Amino acid sequence: MSEQTRIAYLAEYRAARAAGDYDRALEIGLAAIDIDNANPDGPRLMDEIRGFHQPAAA
Protein backbone atom coordinates (compact mmCIF):
# COMPACT_ATOMS: atom_id res chain seq x y z
CA MET A 1 0.00 0.00 0.00
CA SER A 2 1.34 3.40 -0.88
CA GLU A 3 1.90 6.10 1.71
CA GLN A 4 -0.63 8.33 -0.08
CA THR A 5 -3.29 5.65 0.25
CA ARG A 6 -2.55 5.26 3.97
CA ILE A 7 -2.82 9.02 4.44
CA ALA A 8 -6.13 9.06 2.56
CA TYR A 9 -7.57 6.29 4.77
CA LEU A 10 -6.47 8.10 7.92
CA ALA A 11 -7.85 11.43 6.72
CA GLU A 12 -11.17 9.86 5.79
CA TYR A 13 -11.38 8.13 9.16
CA ARG A 14 -10.69 11.38 11.01
CA ALA A 15 -13.28 13.22 8.91
CA ALA A 16 -15.90 10.55 9.53
CA ARG A 17 -15.30 10.64 13.30
CA ALA A 18 -15.38 14.45 13.35
CA ALA A 19 -18.70 14.42 11.50
CA GLY A 20 -20.13 11.79 13.84
CA ASP A 21 -20.45 9.31 10.98
CA TYR A 22 -19.59 6.27 13.04
CA ASP A 23 -20.91 3.85 10.42
CA ARG A 24 -18.36 5.16 7.91
CA ALA A 25 -15.62 5.16 10.54
CA LEU A 26 -16.42 1.50 11.25
CA GLU A 27 -16.30 0.66 7.53
CA ILE A 28 -12.86 2.26 7.30
CA GLY A 29 -11.69 0.39 10.40
CA LEU A 30 -12.83 -2.91 8.94
CA ALA A 31 -11.12 -2.10 5.64
CA ALA A 32 -7.94 -1.31 7.60
CA ILE A 33 -8.04 -4.78 9.12
CA ASP A 34 -8.34 -6.30 5.63
CA ILE A 35 -5.46 -4.16 4.38
CA ASP A 36 -3.30 -5.16 7.34
CA ASN A 37 -4.05 -8.85 6.71
CA ALA A 38 -3.18 -8.48 3.02
CA ASN A 39 0.10 -6.67 3.84
CA PRO A 40 1.51 -8.47 6.89
CA ASP A 41 5.01 -7.02 6.47
CA GLY A 42 3.92 -3.40 6.18
CA PRO A 43 3.06 -0.85 8.84
CA ARG A 44 -0.24 -1.60 10.56
CA LEU A 45 -2.98 0.81 9.47
CA MET A 46 -5.28 -0.30 12.28
CA ASP A 47 -2.61 0.60 14.83
CA GLU A 48 -2.48 4.10 13.40
CA ILE A 49 -6.27 4.39 13.58
CA ARG A 50 -6.23 3.20 17.20
CA GLY A 51 -3.61 5.85 17.90
CA PHE A 52 -6.22 8.55 17.30
CA HIS A 53 -7.94 7.43 20.50
CA GLN A 54 -4.87 7.45 22.75
CA PRO A 55 -4.03 10.48 24.85
CA ALA A 56 -0.89 12.24 23.73
CA ALA A 57 2.21 11.91 25.86
CA ALA A 58 3.23 15.09 27.59
Residue 33 lies in a domain: yes
pLDDT score recorded for residue 1: 77
Residue 13 lies in a domain: yes
Residue 58 lies in a domain: no
Select from 22, 21, 44 the least CA-distant residue to 33: 44
Decide if pLDDT at 57 tops 70: no
What pTM value is reported for the model? 0.85
* CA contacts within 13 A on the Cβ side of 15: 7
User: How many domains is the chain built from?
Assistant: 1
Could you report the per-residue pLDDT of 17-43, keeping only the tens digit for each?
999 999 999 999 999 999 999 999 989
> Is 35 within 8 Å of 1 (Cβ atoms)?
yes
Residue 31 lies in a domain: yes
Residue 41 lies in a domain: yes
Decide if pLDDT at 2 tops 90: no
Instruction: Give me the domain span that covers residue 26.
Output: 3-51
Residue 45 lies in a domain: yes
pLDDT score recorded for residue 58: 62
